[in-house]
Chains A and B, each alone.
Chain A
Amino acid sequence: MDKVIIAKDLTLSYNNNETIINQSNFDINSGEFVFITGASGSGKSTLLKSLYGALEPKQGELSVGGVQMSDISTKKLNFLRRHVGIVFQDYKLIKEWTIEKNVMLPLIISGYAKDVSEIQVQKLLTHVKLNHQLGKYPLELSGGEQQRVAMARALAHNPIIILADEPTGNLDDYSAQVIWNLLEGACTQLKTTVVVVTHHIPETMKIDYKHLHIEYGSIYEVS
């Protein structure tokens, strides 16, 4: 199976030089569903940031989708991000845009034709059961609905990887389950690699998954 993420002796730190992740090794296969867990402040979100290029490795190697993340150029980073879908705990939707336009964002960036994009957006909003909310703005929706919009946006451009940072952290149980189902669906139906940072792995998971745990700056696989 192809490895889509490879980390070798990976060390991550911010400008203050405090090491967050220390010389860790792991890899993630294509189409795999991966949970990254750890205590608060253990470096889960920092690791995720390095996977979408918001933080460069201080030492070691990190390859995402075949792209080396050390000294990555802006052009390469933009190229990589056009093949990655990201979901955040605080949704990160553009408030002044309608939900359709928010979902369309990755398609606009990737240069899809308008009519193709519109069809894709309709399909995705139906898939996340928000087709009755067309024309609305993010702040007119509940938290769960906003996260479903964010999920639709992450799926819009058929990414090779979905990175999710505590995607259910702000949601009630029902909305959280909807998001888990969508992430599982992306992995099983679309064969997308899904990497989720979370405090708790839901008990309702129906598919096999890999579990990476971070403790004291080290990443290890929980079997």
Chain B
Amino acid sequence: MKSLKNHFSLIAALFTILFTVQVYQILERSINSYEESLRANYSIVLIANSILDEASIKSRFSLVRSLEEISPEKVIKRLEKEMDKTSLGLLRASLPKFYKISLEHYPQPEEVDILSSQLENMKQIKRVENYAQTHDQIYKLLLLYKGITQVFAIAIFVVTLLLIAKEMRIWQFQHAERMNIMALFGAPIMLRSAVLFRLAILDAIIAATLLLSTFTFLKNGEWLQGYFSDLNIHVNIFNYSHDTFLHFGIALTLSIILSVMLVINHKEEV
């Protein structure tokens, strides 16, 4: 019973670490997804004296994904009732060219500033509108979310790791007697610690399997997916190939490292 309790403690601690890692991954994926949707909607507007060549702009600025001309016809149509054809013709001829630039990725504020100033230095371009202030606010908010999540994740990770180390210390006392007896009969260190490693590996597998089950349940549950859909964010809550490998790797690595530490610190009774 006592032994089961100790197993449960290690499994629970490992599960907490894995859960934290997965929640952090989901948050990062949702932030990335949100960044992607912001990127798709974000654009810089250029006002130019003459026609701009998309290929030449793209070759000059690697951040630029596309250059699209904005037609002024919509605005001119609205004026058709108020102005005669000659005036409209003159207006059409005197209007500058409007362009919309889409970017390769969601830019950092500094990238926007550099791109804007470089574009403004081009002779054909009269004005650049980058909506930098709005963009800056959203981006800083995202960074804040990321930072807070990172701090929490690290704090939980460290606290849980300390709990595991304490748990393993109890294991050390439990296994010390058996290890000492085996040593008296000439068992090499690997054989003496085999039970310890076997139990640690078993607990790591149980913890990772529990996590896999929990997130399979959450992934198939409609409420969480619905919540993300409402935010217009498409997140893969659990990527089976990547996340399974990652969690089994973390759980096994942690439990093996801690077991090795116990074996190294074990001193034979004299």
Contact = CB atoms under 8 A, between A and B. Distances in A.
Interface of A: 14, 49, 52, 54-55, 74, 77-82, 84, 86, 92-96, 105-106, 108-110, 153
Contacts of A14: 270
B182 A109 contact: yes
Interface of B: 177-178, 180-189, 191, 268-270
B191 A109 contact: yes
Contacts of A96: 178
Given A94-B178, A96-B178, A52 B187 contact: no
A105 B270 CA distance: 21
Nearest to B184: A86
B178 A109 contact: no
B196 to A, nearest CB: 13
Given A54-B270, A55-B270, A81 B178 contact: no
Contacts of A49: 270
Given A94-B178, A96-B178, A81 B270 contact: no
Nearest to A52: B184
Given A78-B187, A78-B188, A105 B268 contact: no
B187 A94 contact: no
B176 to A, nearest CB: 12
Contacts of A55: 270
A95 B184 CA distance: 16
14 contacts: A14-B270, A54-B268, A55-B270, A78-B186, A81-B184, A86-B184, A93-B181, A96-B178, A105-B182, A106-B185, A109-B182, A109-B186, A109-B191, A110-B186
A92 B185 CA distance: 11
Nearest to A154: B185
Given A49-B270, A54-B270, A109-B191, A79 B186 contact: yes
B268 A80 contact: no
A79 B180 CA distance: 16
A82 B182 CA distance: 10
Nearest to A159: B185
